[in-house]
Structure 1
């Protein structure tokens, strides 16, 4: 997997037709996460102490079906549809990911919330980069995970309707006190008992036919890598569900270790870890290369103003720049938890490794990951696109 050497935005069209907000943040050009990173030659401390989450609620329900495997909890595959007795409404489907090898326990939920903070810090406090960072009416969050993005977008935008679509069993971890409507979608529930009136969640398979009667003016996705069998079909569904002039934004991490100064050692365990996991997921048809494919997929379907920006996540606190050092610290905590999460289920079930072999590789990769002399970074792809046509105007009251 290559990062394709891109470090600056590129666009398939010269101008955005009739947006109601600026297409880019005014400080984006100076964002250090998109340029060359100078190492801090005095950096020796690889330890990090961060607070991952300010609130966590869990639910006990027959919908939360897990399997204990290799010391981690995984989604129970091919479960039937069941009704929830929770106080908030959730739509449940019997469409399930039959091959999903990443854990769904509290450790993974903590990591996903930490990773959310990492994304937000990368984008200088913003949840998204497209013009729909404000002004959206109906918002759909694909693969909402713990629901933190949908909940925070709803909190920031009380004028919006936000929906989270869940793909797997997670507990939506944070409470919100707002009134727009954000919709998040996944395959299993992890929401709190108290839901803000403008934010709702559904459990479904986003690769099945979409049945919403109303269109959205903003559809968002993050880290769908490894979840999609047919990305062409998914992009078609996104296109059809967007209203004319509506926006789509994808944020995905590319599992390809990069270095600007060739400090990655030969026979790197960290590179091997990433390559083995990517290869395993390719074998079952759920590619971890979606990050690099979004741009062309959207262009091919007929989207306009398709723009791709590649950000950088340092593996630890090796950068000299204070902002990138901070991002590297959060990135270290994220990757430290992700090593086993990504490798245990995939390499044992798909490639036939033993648990001990996986743990040895992860231990060796972790040692490299924490070494400030190894200046590794990971490409983070952000792709935004607009459906042709003028936005639908609300009727005058």
Structure 2
């Protein structure tokens, strides 16, 4: 295997050290918070309402998470958490100084595409999503389309950079998707996927204090498998990239704690924001999959969600997950 073909998997971080100092009033507030602060046709806007949440209309049922304002707030908060992980950056792939075309699929609120467009005013940035929930006032070099990334791509020119974030649970055929990405990149262009592991980690037996969360993880992964779009894919992204023909593949894995319990200052800050994010995320990930796939009633879901939130509020539960930043390059000598 050549160096270019090998996957660079950065050494896994060691255990996350717990800060033994008492929680400040500021830290306690994060545990007490319960929430984080194509041409559009009428059919695209005919959203589906279910169990008190709003879902997309275009390709109805393809994506099991809501698209309402609560979910948009959660996505924007998660964008902030991701930038904390990346020390303020939007991506890790070693792009050249002047990319000309970039694609952000599954763009959500469009916040990543908007910031990338501002940083690269000479780059034509396209964001696609099933839901037209992006702002109308955008930089002149940023455009949003209602599109299904799993359909055949119809772009009229290749890209220098393709970016996707937290697409696990949205994609049924990852090898096909990477084939389309490869086909639509310029030689020497880069792809980056940012995906977190669903399975939480603990270095001090937190799951004994959070049995509901431990069982919820298993049920959530089972539901996503039955749905046909698995949630636990972060560890396989690098392999799919290589199989599609990408080289210089790197899998950068970083811990993302829930709660301000870590001793490390950066991880403590990430943990503070992850509490309100996870408080909202457990409902977003639970309602549709558990009612549509596992046969739960909405009342049973709400009881489950309440128990999950109680465990998330427990400052003695020291959980974290791994967040993967995986990027690879289309060979420059590709015809």
Q: Do these two structures clear the TM 0.5 threshold for a shared fold by scoring above it?
A: yes
Q: Deviations over 1:212-265 (max 9, x none)?
A: 121101100101011111111101000111111110000011110111232321
What is the aligned partner in structure 1 of residue 107 from structure 2? 144
- Deviation for aligned residue 1:271: 1.7
* Higher mean displacement: 216-225 or 285-294: 285-294
Residue 115 of structure 1: how far off its partner (Å): 0.3
The answer on whether the counterparts of 1:315 and 1:370 sit within 8 Å (CA) in structure 2 is: no
Paired position in structure 2 for 1:172: none
TM-score, length of structure 2 as denominator length:
0.89
For normalisation by structure 1, the TM-score amounts to: 0.76
3-state SS of paired residue (1:323): helix
Written as runs of structure 1 = structure 2, the 5 A alignment for 1:49-128 is: 63-76=44-57, 96-128=59-91
- Please tell me whether the aligned partners of residues 50 and 330 of structure 1 are also in contact (alpha carbons under 8 angstroms): no
> Of 229, 245, 265, which aligns to 2:188?
245
Distance (whole Å) between structure 1 residues aligned to residue 303 and residue 127 of structure 2? 37
Change (3 A) 1:62 1:15: closer
Contact 1:114 1:334 in 2 (8 A): yes
**Distance (whole Å) between structure 2 residues aligned to residue 247 and residue 100 of structure 1:** 26
* Conserved 8 A contact 1:223-1:252: yes
Tell me the distance in 1 between the aligned counterparts of 2:281 and 2:234.
Answer: 18
Residue 356 of structure 1 and its aligned partner are, at CA, apart by 1.7
Q: Is the 8 A contact 2:36 2:280 kept in 1?
A: no
Counterpart secondary structure, 1:264: helix
Which of 21, 26, 31 aligns to 1:42? It is 21
Note the 1:149-168 alignment, pairs <5 A. 149-166=112-129, 168=130
Structure 1 residue 63, shift from structure 2 partner: 3.4
Q: Secondary structure at the match of 2:62?
A: coil
Q: State which of 302, 311, 323 in structure 1 corresponds to 2:266.
A: 323
The corresponding residue for 2:217 is 274
Is the CA contact 2:189–2:330 (under 8 Å) kept in the aligned structure 1?
Answer: yes
- Rounded Cα–Cα distance in structure 2 between residues aligned with 1:372 and 1:133: 43
Change (3 A) 1:199 1:34: farther
User: Higher mean Cα deviation, 285-294 or 334-343?
Assistant: 285-294
Structure 1 runs of 4+ off > 3 angstroms?
12-16, 43-46, 49-53, 59-63
- Structure 1: runs of 5 or more not aligned: 1-11, 17-23, 54-58, 80-95, 170-188, 393-397
Q: 2:98 corresponds to which residue?
A: 135
Distance 2:2 2:189 in 1: 16
Shift of 1:50: 12
Contact 2:36 2:276 in 1 (8 A): no
Query: 1:331 and 1:266, CA in 2 relative to 1: closer, same or farther beyond 3 A?
Result: closer
Q: Is the 8 A contact 1:127 1:133 kept in 2?
A: no
Gaps of 5+ in 2: none
Structure 2 CA distance, aligned partners of 1:367 and 1:373? Answer: 12
Q: Secondary structure at the match of 1:159?
A: coil
Distance 1:51 1:268 in 2: 22
Tell me, yes or no, if the aligned pair for 1:161 and 1:198 is still in contact at 8 Å: yes
Question: Is 1:350 matched with 2:293?
Answer: yes
Q: Say if 1:146 and 1:191, in contact at 8 Å, map to a contact too.
A: yes
Are the counterparts in 1 of residues 124 and 141 from structure 2 also a CA contact under 8 Å?
yes
Distance, in Å, in 2 between the alignment partners of 1:332 and 1:380 is 16
1:284 and 2:227 matched: yes
128 and 330 in structure 1: CA distance in 2 versus 1, 3 angstrom threshold: same
How many residues end up aligned between the 2 structures? 325
Distance 1:391 1:231, change over 3 A: closer
Aligned mates of 2:259, 2:266 — CA distance in 1: 12
